[in-house]
């Protein structure tokens, strides 16, 4: 009895004040790449600063630098309280019109948020120190921070270590992995992916795309910040890069949910240095651009894969759930419905409990705010579970009528870590006229006891 109780309790408690030995859980090892294909002309490093005094040896300063000037674009948090690095990077991108960016410098351990004018100066100084080391003009670097809110950065320590960060820049797989680690807070594993691609205008030329992200881990008194950096050696003009990133982020980083909270620091940036040569990708003016469309699809797909790693590492997550809303009259309404399901505590706890509770899913569909009239018509709505093993779909609700559910099969499907929920809106009013409709996808995780433990800063 005592042993089983102890085991149960142990299963619920995660070492959440950062994995001190940086050991990666066995179940997450499969997400760590052992090699990669990195874009030409980029070098990176992860350096120990000790932003948090308790961190005496792990890298917490990431530097991502290009040998040549880059086009750059970024998507920032919509939170009204924007951290200093967000304000500073935004201004840098605007004043440079997305041209001539050379580096991104990121610290973990302190968010530099709600830190007033002093915090703004700190963020500016971080960037300028990098510019100085690179021997380039001021305001060539973007700055990001993640960690504790309401505390000033230990700025001298950071400035002191930036020359080291610069002098250790390298292009090896190990360097990329160390850099991806340096931006983590309580993430249980570094999140790094890379791939090669071609563009229609020069099918024989190989381009590379690499990206890192960090997500949903937090240390008292902090909040989850999502940061992401993508680098490519394709040549892309800034306006095209910005619109491609916006499209991709909407369908990836902004289509995932751990707990629905949006932090003060969230930033996803992309740098394109053109080191692989070829034509410059431009935004389509009058005529469509094949390269633009191709690159948009590639970046979107890449960003989805990268952002899904954040969900895989959601705090306390035991499930990875895809919700696909089909046949919505418009994409935004579909996304809004998917987002509402992904944020519902009742849906999330039912999934944790492996409970095929379609009533809660339906309920969340029904209370979605801000969708056009006629989008949700009960008599046209269907809900199914799509098993990840490719076996037959389990229908729960068909055109508003509940199915007789095989509870055993439902339970078996819910034993898996992965699950896909499909909500078919039947096309809304347009669909009835045979117009088909848009699909929207969201990825989310469940709410577990561990989530509460981690975020309640539960002191045992």
Distance separating alpha carbons of residues 425 and 437, to the nearest angstrom: 9
Complex with a second copy: residue 13 or 290, whichever CB lies closer: 13
Distance in Å, CB of 269 to a second copy, minimum: 20
> Where do the H-state alpha helices sit in 226-343?
238-250, 290-312, 331-343
Distance separating alpha carbons of residues 64 and 142, to the nearest angstrom: 10
Distance in Å, CB of 412 to a second copy, minimum: 15
Of the residues 77, 115, 188, 225, which is catalytic? 225
Distance in Å, CB of 445 to a second copy, minimum: 12
Residue with tokens 């930036």: 162
Complex with a second copy: residue 287 or 460, whichever CB lies closer: 460
Binding-site annotation: residue ranges for substrate: 185, 214, 225, 315, 455, 460
Please say whether the beta carbons of 194 and 36 come within 8 A. yes
* H and E: helices and strands count for the chain: 13, 15
Complex with a second copy: residue 434 or 456, whichever CB lies closer: 456
Q: CA 135 → CA 132, 138, 140, 217, 386, distances in Å?
A: 5, 9, 10, 35, 54
Q: Is 225 a catalytic residue?
A: yes
Helix (H) or strand (E) holding 69, with range, is strand 61-76
3-class DSSP state for residue 206? strand
Q: What is the DSSP letter of 318?
A: -
Complex with a second copy: residue 37 or 349, whichever CB lies closer: 349
Which residues of this chain interact with a second copy, rule CB under 8 A? 1-2, 5-6, 8-9, 77-81, 113-114, 116, 149-150, 218, 220-224, 259-264, 343-346, 349-350, 352-353, 355-360, 362-368, 370, 376, 378, 381, 397, 400-402, 447-449, 451-453, 455-460
Strand-strand pairing, 227-232 and 267-272: parallel
> Where do the H-state alpha helices sit in 367-437?
407-415, 428-432
Distance in Å, CB of 77 to a second copy, minimum: 8
User: Sign of torsion, CA 247 226 191 154?
Assistant: positive
Distance in Å, CB of 11 to a second copy, minimum: 12
Distance in Å, CB of 208 to a second copy, minimum: 35
Distance separating alpha carbons of residues 173 and 189, to the nearest angstrom: 16
Question: Which residue, 404, 340, 405, 344, is CA-closest to 371?
Answer: 340
Complex with a second copy: residue 3 or 29, whichever CB lies closer: 3
Six-digit token string for 120: 């703004």
Beta strands (DSSP E) in 311-386 are 320-328, 382-386
Complex with a second copy: residue 92 or 344, whichever CB lies closer: 344
What residues act catalytically? 225
């Amino acid at each position: 009895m005592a042993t089983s109780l102890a085991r149960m309790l142990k299963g619920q408690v995660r070492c959440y004040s950062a994995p001190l030995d940086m050991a990666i859980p066995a179940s997450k090892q499969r997400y760590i790449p052992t090699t990669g294909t990195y874009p030409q002309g980029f070098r990176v490093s992860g350096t120990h600063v000790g932003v948090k005094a308790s961190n005496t040896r792990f890298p917490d300063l990431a530097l991502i630098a290009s040998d040549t000037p880059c086009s750059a674009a970024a998507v920032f948090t919509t939170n009204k309280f924007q951290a200093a690095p967000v304000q500073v990077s935004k201004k840098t991108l605007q004043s440079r019109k997305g041209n001539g960016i050379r580096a991104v410098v990121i610290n973990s351990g302190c968010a530099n948020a709600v830190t007033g004018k002093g915090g703004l100066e700190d963020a500016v100084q971080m960037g300028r120190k990098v510019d100085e080391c690179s021997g380039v003009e001021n305001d060539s670097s973007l700055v990001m921070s993640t960690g504790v809110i309401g505390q000033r950065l230990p700025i001298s320590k950071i400035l002191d270590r930036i020359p080291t960060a610069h002098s250790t820049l390298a292009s090896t797989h190990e360097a990329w992995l160390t850099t991806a680690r340096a931006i983590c807070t309580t993430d249980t594993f570094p999140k790094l992916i890379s791939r090669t691609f071609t563009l229609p205008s020069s099918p024989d030329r190989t381009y590379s795309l690499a990206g890192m992200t960090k997500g949903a881990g937090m240390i008292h008194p902090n909040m989850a910040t999502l940061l992401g950096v993508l680098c490519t050696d394709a040549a892309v003009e800034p306006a095209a890069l910005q619109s491609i990133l916006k499209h991709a982020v909407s369908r990836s980083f902004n289509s995932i949910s751990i707990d629905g909270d949006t932090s003060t620091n969230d930033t996803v940036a992309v740098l394109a240095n053109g080191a692989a040569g070829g034509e410059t990708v431009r935004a389509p003016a009058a005529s469509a651009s094949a390269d633009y469309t191709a690159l948009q699809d590639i970046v979107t797909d890449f960003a989805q894969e990268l952002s899904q790693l954040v969900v895989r590492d959601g705090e306390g997550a035991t499930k990875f759930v895809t919700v696909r809303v089909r046949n919505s009259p418009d994409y935004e309404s579909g996304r809004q419905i998917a987002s509402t399901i992904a944020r519902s505590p009742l849906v999330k706890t039912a999934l944790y409990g492996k409970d095929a509770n379609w009533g809660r899913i339906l309920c969340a569909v029904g209370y979605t705010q801000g969708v056009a009239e006629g989008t949700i018509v009960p008599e046209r709505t269907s809900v199914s579970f799509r098993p990840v093993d490719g076996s037959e779909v389990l229908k729960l609700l068909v055109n508003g009528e509940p199915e007789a559910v095989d509870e055993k099969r439902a339970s078996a499907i819910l034993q898996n870590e992965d699950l896909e929920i499909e909500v078919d809106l039947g096309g809304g009013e347009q669909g009835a006229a045979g117009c088909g409709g848009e699909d929207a996808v969201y990825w989310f995780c469940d709410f577990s006891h561990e989530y509460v433990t981690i975020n309640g800063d539960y002191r045992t």
